[in-house]
Each structure stands twice: as structure tokens, then as C-alpha cells.
């Protein structure tokens, strides 16, 4: 049986190699035109489950960390980013109350048990400063009852309501909850023109029609 790190490396290479440049361009738009409004340029920010760094490479922040178990991650990160190669379900190598923002996209559904999701959120809380925020983006099983399971490593079914409830139980206030934000997955070949990506972010009435991923923002009490 493959080691966990080797399996993760193979999954990323199979899913994303052909789309690497396109994905990076999409995330640059997402960061510049949407997520930047949550993040001050002087922030300390962690990209939790950073993958190949599409978010953390493109977001503007003073100090940036990327946490991922995939050993390939480091070669995709900009030089100003501190890489932590570790399992997010083990204590993070980050000082308590040192972060302003924890961002995570399409990670929590891959964790193998609910208690691992709870531990991961508890570590985010530990590392965040008072009033720091966690931004959670992920596929909403409420609208993906079949396609959700097309990825072998999807394990935990999550909705915007369930992740919001967990955050509240773990000591966060919910600042924003959107059940339908972005369409589902670029890894399945959906690659619209970048101009259309920009327009989609501005045309909020399209989100309920095409959105299949939730967006939830919580602040640490």
C-alpha cells in the first residue's frame, strides 16, 4: 500500500497537472476580486490544505504560511511563503494566537473522520488571534448528492449549515454563510473563459443557478 504522502502526490498530479496554469489564473481573479476584501495586506495568513498554492501565492498578505501533507507543494510555492509539510489532524507547528486569517478550500471533506474535522477546526481556533477569521470553501453535498462521490478521497459530507454549526460549537461567530457560491470543480474539465469568471463574481444572481460550493466565514470569539 502506498504511503499517504505518495497517494496524495499522485492524486494531485492526475487531477491538476493539465490545468495548473488555468487554475492559478482563476485563483488570481478570486483573490484579487473577492477574497482580498476579507484580508488586510498586513495580515498573517495560513492556507490550510494549500495544494499547489493557488490561493496563497496570489493573496496579498504580510506573512504567509501553507500547510499541506503533499510533498510536491513546496515546489509550487512562492519564495516568501513558509511551508509546513504535515498532517492537519496533528498539532500545527504554529504559535497560538499568531494568525489573523485561516483559509481552507476543498480540504475538510477529505479528512477521514468527523473527529479529525473537529480537531482541525480547534487548531485553527488555537492559532487565530482574538477576532481572527476562518474562511471555509468547499463542495456542498446538499447540491451534489451524486457528483460529490466522484472523487475517491471524498469522505465527509458537508453543507454550509453543518460547517457553520461546527464552527459555532468550536467557539466562532458566523459572519457570512453562502450555500451556493462557486461552481463545483475545475478538475472535471470545466474551464470557462477568465472574463466569464470575473463576470460571475460580480453577477450575484448567477450564484444560486450555478453555485455548488459553500462559503462560510467565522470569527473567533
Please compute the mean of the pLDDT values over residues 40-44 and round it to a whole number: 97
Tens-place pLDDT, residues 146-196: 889 888 889 999 999 999 999 999 999 999 999 999 998 755 556 889 999
Q: How far apart (Å, rounded) are the C-alpha atoms in residues 30 and 28? A: 5
pLDDT computed for residue 51 by the predictor: 92
What is the total residue count of the chain? 221
Please compute the mean of the pLDDT values over residues 187-215 and round it to a whole number: 89
Give the chain's domain count. 1
Q: What is the CATH number of the domain that holds 81?
A: 3.40.50.150
Among residues 123, 100, 117, the alpha carbon closest in space to that of 165 is found at 117
pLDDT computed for residue 146 by the predictor: 86
Tens-place pLDDT, residues 74-120: 999 999 999 999 999 999 999 999 999 999 999 999 999 999 999 99
Q: Edge-to-edge strands of the sheet including 172-178?
A: 81-85, 63-68, 44-48, 99-105, 128-139, 213-220, 172-178
Please compute the mean of the pLDDT values over residues 3-17 and round it to a whole number: 64
Q: How far apart (Å, rounded) are the C-alpha atoms in residues 18 and 16? A: 6
Tell me the percentage of the chain whose pLDDT exceeds 90. 80
> What residues make up the domain containing 124?
4-220
pLDDT computed for residue 1 by the predictor: 54
Tens-place pLDDT, residues 46-75: 999 999 999 999 999 999 999 999 989 999
> Which of 186-192's residues contact partners 24+ apart within 8 Å by CB, and which partners?
186/19, 186/22, 186/23, 186/26, 187/15, 187/16, 187/19, 187/151, 188/150, 191/19, 191/22
Q: How far apart (Å, rounded) are the C-alpha atoms in residues 118 and 46? A: 18
Among residues 98, 87, 57, the alpha carbon closest in space to that of 74 is found at 57
pLDDT computed for residue 172 by the predictor: 98
Among residues 166, 75, 73, 86, the alpha carbon closest in space to that of 118 is found at 166
Query: Does residue 140 surpass a pLDDT of 90?
Result: yes
Q: How far apart (Å, rounded) are the C-alpha atoms in residues 153 and 51? A: 14
Q: Which pTM was predicted?
A: 0.92
Grid cell 511563503 is found at: 81
pLDDT band at 17 (very low <50, low <70, confident <90, very high): low
pLDDT computed for residue 201 by the predictor: 96
Amino acid at each position: 500500500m502506498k504511503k499517504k504522502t505518495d497517494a496524495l502526490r499522485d492524486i494531485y498530479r492526475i487531477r491538476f497537472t493539465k490545468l495548473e496554469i488555468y487554475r492559478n489564473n482563476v485563483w488570481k481573479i478570486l483573490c484579487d476580486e473577492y477574497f482580498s476584501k476579507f484580508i488586510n495586506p498586513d495580515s498573517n495568513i495560513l492556507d490550510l490544505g494549500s495544494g499547489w498554492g493557488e490561493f496563497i501565492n496570489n493573496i496579498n498578505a504580510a506573512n504567509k504560511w501553507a500547510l499541506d501533507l503533499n510533498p510536491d507543494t513546496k515546489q509550487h510555492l512562492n519564495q516568501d511563503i513558509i511551508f509546513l509539510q504535515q498532517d492537519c489532524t496533528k498539532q500545527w507547528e504554529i504559535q497560538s494566537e499568531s494568525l489573523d486569517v485561516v483559509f481552507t478550500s476543498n480540504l475538510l471533506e477529505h479528512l477521514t473522520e468527523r473527529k479529525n474535522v473537529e480537531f482541525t477546526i480547534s487548531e485553527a481556533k488555537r492559532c487565530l488571534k482574538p477576532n481572527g477569521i476562518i474562511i471555509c470553501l468547499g463542495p456542498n453535498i446538499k447540491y451534489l448528492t451524486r457528483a460529490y462521490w466522484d472523487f475517491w478521497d471524498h469522505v465527509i459530507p458537508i453543507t454550509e449549515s453543518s460547517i457553520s454549526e461546527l464552527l459555532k460549537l468550536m467557539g466562532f461567530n458566523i459572519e457570512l454563510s453562502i450555500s451556493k457560491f462557486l461552481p463545483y470543480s475545475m478538475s472535471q474539465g470545466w474551464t470557462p473563459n477568465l472574463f466569464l469568471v470575473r463576470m460571475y463574481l460580480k453577477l450575484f444572481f448567477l450564484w444560486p443557478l450555478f453555485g455548488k460550493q459553500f462559503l462560510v466565514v467565522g470569527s473567533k470569539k
